[in-house]
Structure 1
C-alpha cells in the first residue's frame, strides 16, 4: 500500500494509525471530496456518523444549484435514454452541453418512440457556441447572462412577455414541440437559472411535453446525493456533531468551515481524479487518493481507482443511475478506499482507541453546533 506521513513514505499500518490519531483528536472534523465508488462513499458516511463529522462532496455547489430548486418547487426530468428515444426538440443551455457526449448522440438521429417518432430532431442552443459540428439554431443569452435569459424565455412561453423579441422564435419552437428536452449543467446555470428552468418546464407541460435533463458532474455528485438520501434521508451536506444527521447547505460547506476556523481536521476522499481545494492546506488533512504523489496532505494513503483497479458501482451518465462498472480480472494495485475507511472506523469506534475530547463549556455554541 502506498502511503506517506508528512511527505515521507510509510507503511499502510502506520499511515492508518496516524490518520486515526488525527481524526480522533478533532472536535469538528469534515469529510470532503467523496469522489469514489458507492461503497467507499457509504463507508465515509458511516465513519462520519461514528466520529461526529460533517460531509461535503466536491460536487456540492453544482448539486445544490439543482437541489435547492427541487426542494422549493419540484422538477420534471427525464433520462438520456428517453431523450434519445422520444425528443423532437432539444435545447442546450450554455456551453457545458456542447462538451458532453449526450448532445452529440442526440444530434445523430431522430426520435423512434412516442408521438414524435419519425420526425426530425431539432437542436437549439441558448447562450452556447454558435458554431460547431452539430447542426443547430443558436440564440443569444444577452448581456444579463444565462439565468436571466432562461427567465425571459419562461415569460415568453407563458405569454407574460409580449411583443417582438430575439427569443420569441425559441419560445414558439418549444411550445410546438411534441417532446422537448432541455439539457443543462447546474454548475453553469446556477441556482437562479435552475429555478427558472424548472418553472419553464412546468409551464410548457401545461400544453405539451417537456423535460429537464441535467448533466452529470465529474465528481460522482449524483451518486453522492442518492447515497446521502438513503443514509440520512437528506442532502449530502450533513453533520453528525449532535449524534443525528442535520442538513444545512451553508453550515456544512467545507470551504466555509475551513475559512471560518470551524474545521480542525479533514478527510479528503478522491479515489477518482479530483483536485484538492486550497483549504486542505490550512487544515490537518488525511487524503485517500487514487493517484497520490505523497505531499498532498499530512497523511496520504493511496487507494485503487474504481472501475479500473476493481469493479465498482459508479454513476453512469448515459443511464442516469448508479451502475456496476466491471473490470477484467484483479489488478495488482491498492484496494478500495472503503477498506481504509472501515479500518479507521474499527479503530475510532473502540473506546480504548478513541478518546473523544471532553466538551468545553466555554466553547462558542455556534461553532460547536457546526460540527
Structure 2
C-alpha cells in the first residue's frame, strides 16, 4: 500500500502529512506544488497534518487541518475511530476527511516512526481501503538509502540489513546493526562507504576503521581513501525521489578518483591473493 510521488501528485485529493519529517519532505521537495492533473475527478485538494504544521506549498488546496500531538498517538486514535473502536480522543473532522477522500495518501518519514509505527500507519491505510482508495509514500533515506535498499532486495531477496557470514544472505535488523556489533565486540573492523555520506557514525571510534570518503573530507579514521562521488566525479545511477526509480547521472567534474567499486574490488583481489599464498 505504497505508491510513487508522481501518482500521489496526480491522484491524491487528501494529503495526510504525519509528523515533522514528512512535512519537511513535502515542503523541501515541493511535492504537491503542481496543480494540474490528468484526472478530472480529483478536484481540489485537502491537507490533514498530524503532529506538525500544515505544509504551505500544496496547490489547489481548499481545506487544511492540523492536529497537535504525537503523530503516532494521533494515527492510533484515528485508526480506532475509523474502525468504530474506542479511542482515547475524538477527531470527528479528521475522520470525516479520511472517509470522504476519493484517493488519499499518507506521507511519512522513516525517521519519525519505528517499525511498529509503520505497521500502525499501514493498518490505517488498509482499513480506509475498505471504503475508499488510500495509499502512502515515505521520505527517502539519506545518502541513497532507498536505492541501496532496493539493490539489496533484488539481489538477495531481503531488505537491509543483510549479512553473508554463513555463506548466504540473511536479513536481520538486530543481528546486523552496526552499533550493536561494535558494542558487543562481534565486529573489529568497519569499512565505511561514505561517498555520499562521509560523516562517520559514533561507533566508528570503537573499531579499526577504513573510510572511503569524497576528496578533501577530514575523516578521523585509521585509513582514509578518497573516492569519487557518483554524479560528480564519475557517472552513476542514483535514486530519484520524485520518479521513485533510478536516474543515470553523468559526471560533472573531470577530476579522476577511484570509484567505491574499484576500491572494494582491489580489497577482494588482495585478500584472495593473500589467501592463496597461505
Residues 330-367 of structure 1 show CA distances to partners (whole Å, capped at 9, x for unaligned) of 51141311111111111112354675xxxxxxxxxxxx
Of 246, 264, 270, which aligns to 1:341?
A: 264
TM-score by length of 2: 0.89
Q: How far apart, CA to CA, are the structure 1 residues paired with 2:28 and 2:277?
A: 51
Q: How far apart, CA to CA, are the structure 1 residues paired with 2:77 and 2:277?
A: 56
SS at match of 1:228: helix
| CA displacement at 1:223 relative to structure 2 | 1.0
Question: 8 Å contact 1:80–1:102 — kept in the other structure?
Answer: no
Residues 139-181 of structure 1 show CA distances to partners (whole Å, capped at 9, x for unaligned) of 3243xx221211111111122247982x221111111011111
Of 191, 194, 202, which aligns to 2:126?
A: 202
Q: How far apart, CA to CA, are the structure 1 residues paired with 2:75 and 2:215?
A: 40
SS at match of 1:242: coil
Q: Paired residues, what number?
A: 275
Give the equivalent residue in structure 2 for 1:35: none
Q: 1:106 to 1:231 in 2, by over 3 A?
A: closer
Q: Please, what is the CA RMSD of the aligned residues?
A: 2.4
**Greater relative contact order (Cα < 8 A, sep 6+):** 1
Question: 8 Å contact 2:26–2:55 — kept in the other structure?
Answer: no
SS at match of 2:148: helix
Residue 213 (structure 1) aligned with residue 137 (structure 2): yes
| CA displacement at 1:190 relative to structure 2 | 2.0
Q: How far apart, CA to CA, are the structure 2 residues paired with 1:131 and 1:235?
A: 31
Q: How far apart, CA to CA, are the structure 1 residues paired with 2:166 and 2:120?
A: 36
The answer for unaligned runs of 5 or more in structure 2 is none
Question: 8 Å contact 2:51–2:68 — kept in the other structure?
Answer: yes
Q: 1:274 to 1:188 in 2, by over 3 A?
A: farther
Residue 100 (structure 1) aligned with residue 25 (structure 2): yes
Residues 26-49 of structure 1 show CA distances to partners (whole Å, capped at 9, x for unaligned) of xxxxxxxxxxxxxxxxxxxxxxxx
Residue 122 (structure 1) aligned with residue 49 (structure 2): no
Of 230, 248, 253, which aligns to 2:172?
A: 248
Q: 1:251 to 1:186 in 2, by over 3 A?
A: same
Residues 103-123 of structure 1 show CA distances to partners (whole Å, capped at 9, x for unaligned) of 763443446234633x11112
TM-score by length of 1: 0.68
Deviates more, 1:251-260 or 1:123-132: 123-132
Give the equivalent residue in structure 1 for 2:204: 280
SS at match of 1:345: helix
Q: 1:102 to 1:85 in 2, by over 3 A?
A: farther
